[in-house]
Amino acid sequence: MESIFSDLGTFGLNSNQPLDFHGKAKDEKPVKKEIQAKKTKQLVFDRKVKCPVCDHEFLSKTVKSSINRFERTSLTLRPIYSKIDPLIYDVIQCNSCGYAALNTTYNKISERQIKTIKEQISSKFIPKEEPKDYDYKTALINNKLALYNAIVMGSRSVNKAYLCLRISWIIDGYLETIEEDKKESLTLERLNFIKNAYTGFLEAYETISFPVFGMNQPTYYYLLGVLAFELGDYSHSKRWLSKVMVGEDSQQRLKDKARDVKDLVNQKIKEEKEGQSSEGKP
């Protein structure tokens, strides 16, 4: 598997930047996310943004939340909306210095972090032409750039894990729009981000206070359970999901969702057992 940042090389950045969750974290308050969004011009508008790193002023696209209705969440809690996927627009990227972050945390940056970004990103950053329209491909790059920034500025594990989860959601959306024969490498890439999200959320668990990114503790357990399921780690998956199902703080809807995933896990275990036993037969 190539580096998760292999497509950031064109920005002049280190395409082999490692992602680890053990580095010293700069304490930043995590913020609730998710607003709404869409696709045609009426649903998206330009908002003036001033970059906190280089003071460059630019327009960033954002979604008119009033028109976009939240419908449901996917298995991995990706929010699904009626008209447009707001995930495409949630990262703001300064094309002058390379600073990128979620819109909810864009201005929450310390002087020390600004200095680090100037030294480690802006000094090498090669601007790209602004895309006229955003799509999943653009969103994928922007979110990777946000993750790269988060690593460089020493963000907390939970923030990095959340960006990895979001990238997996963006790939989910991307996969829905491309042809069958192009899905394989993207599917592998998705799994890699799921793995990093899982590792990061596990690593962060001891140090976070809830709610985090809009998740209470049972939801966090659910997420760990479903990520473990995606990774084929069925025993841990069942353990996390059981915590949700017996938890006094868990809402009934979440318990039901956990039960559904647990059924899927059991189904997979059964299929794999059957697969193994039929392999042994003549």
Binding residues with Zn ion: total (CB under 5 A): 8
Q: Is 52 helix (H, G, I), strand (E, B) or coil?
A: coil
Identity of the residue, 46 or 71, whose beta carbon is nearer to Zn ion in the bound complex: 46
Please, which of residues 82-121 interact with Zn ion by CB under 5 A? 94, 96-97, 99
Tokens 């039929």 found at? 278
Structure-token pair, residue 226: 């479903």
Cβ(258)–Cβ(245) below 8 Å:
yes
Q: Is 174 helix (H, G, I), strand (E, B) or coil?
A: helix
Least CB distance to Zn ion at residue 59 (A): 13
Least CB distance to Zn ion at residue 141 (A): 17
Cβ(237)–Cβ(261) below 8 Å:
yes
Residue type, 19: L
Please, which of residues 137-176 interact with Zn ion by CB under 5 A? none
x-or-dash pattern for Zn ion, window 35-64, by CB under 5 A? ----------------x-xx-x--------
Least CB distance to Zn ion at residue 57 (A): 10
Least CB distance to Zn ion at residue 121 (A): 9
Cβ(100)–Cβ(144) below 8 Å:
no
- The yes or no reply on residue 254 touching Zn ion (CB under 5 A) is no
Identity of the residue, 138 or 237, whose beta carbon is nearer to Zn ion in the bound complex: 138
Least CB distance to Zn ion at residue 47 (A): 15
CA 15 centroid distance within chain: 19
Cβ(161)–Cβ(196) below 8 Å:
yes
Q: For the beta carbon of residue 182, count every other beta carbon within 10 angstroms.
A: 11
Identity of the residue, 99 or 229, whose beta carbon is nearer to Zn ion in the bound complex: 99
Binding site for Zn ion (CB under 5 A): 51, 53-54, 56, 94, 96-97, 99
